[in-house]
Amino acid sequence: MKQNTLVIMAAGLGSRYGGIKQLEPVGPSGEIIMDYSIYDAIQAGFQKVVFIIRKDIEEDFKEIIGNRISKIIDTEYVLQDINDLPEGYEVPEGRTKPWGTGQAILCCKDLVDGPFAVINADDYYGKDAFVKINEFLKNPEVVVGKYSFCMAGFILGNTLSDNGSVTRGICTVNAYDVLVDVKETSGIRPEGDIAVAIGCDGREYEVNLDDVVSMNMWGFTKEIFKELEEGFPKFLDKLGENRLKAEYLLPVIVDGLIKDDKAQVKVLRTDDKWVGVTYKEDKKVVVETIMGYVKDGIYPMALYNYKETGM
């Protein structure tokens, strides 16, 4: 049986946060958010970690987390590079923005040979989703003529920041917990008992706090690499005036596969509360949340005290 792999996207620039937010300590013993994700993934049954990083943070990344993690789980690295494009394509003049999560995952195609989960480095997801995705990947639903993928479905109200607006993939889910579509929605912020978002016309509108949202926590089989590889040139061909900022994004790609009747995505609902560091002010909330989990016995005071963790 192929081992389940955890792929962690850690190459983001963190522009709104103002620094390399993936490496900020948030735990009582200096742990970063990724430490908790990896800890939860190992306990859920994942057996390998692949980090997607940038060349300019490689040294710091390995020193702060990679060298430690490699002692407890099979660990590999891949570099996301803006110049890593299909043959015949070049980076548009003036472009500095990375190509997005679709290209990031495509970078892993030579390191992942079985089912895998994808997460963001700077998001805390909770234990429940890792268990559910690992179980799905071990026993996927058989869907004739389609890829069988999954997605952790969070409740919108559990994923908002009090310090500014966020972008979320708001999902339509049918009665069988199958994803119908996912719509990238920007400018979402809480306002009392409701939340508002910004539409394409620039106007605000109300969104349901109970909506299911994607937090870029997916479960894929290796067939996704074929689709990403074939879709990337098509994306590049349509850049047009948006050539400096357009991104090849996983939610858009998955939504396209659903619309083309090529994939079924099972939504694995979780009531766990997401926390992350979109803004610098969010760090205080993350630290307090993690400390609360430590006090409740959900995590040990030091994650990688081998006697405590059993790892």
Query: pLDDT at position 276, please?
Result: 85
- How sure is the predictor about 192, in pLDDT bands with cuts at 50, 70 and 90? confident
Enumerate the H helices of the chain as residue ranges: 33-44, 58-61, 67-69, 101-106, 127-138, 224-237, 250-259, 282-295, 306-309
* Domain membership of residue 235 as a residue range: 5-309
Pairing of strands 5-9, 48-53: parallel
Which tens digit of pLDDT belongs to each residue from 3-32?
A: 899 999 988 744 444 456 667 889 999 898
CA triple 97-168-191, angle to 5 deg: 120
Query: pLDDT at position 20, please?
Result: 62
Indicate the DSSP class of residue 161: -
Average pLDDT, the chain: 89
Mean pLDDT of 39-48: 95
pTM for the predicted model, two decimal places: 0.91
Number of structural domains, the chain? 1
Dihedral sign from CA coordinates of 58, 61, 67, 69: negative
pLDDT at 54 over 70: yes
Which tens digit of pLDDT belongs to each residue from 69-94?
A: 998 999 999 999 999 999 999 999 99
| CATH number of the domain residue 304 falls in | 3.90.550.10
Which tens digit of pLDDT belongs to each residue from 140-181?
A: 888 889 999 999 999 999 999 888 899 898 999 999 999 999
pLDDT at 52 over 70: yes
To which residue do tokens 């694995």 refer?
268
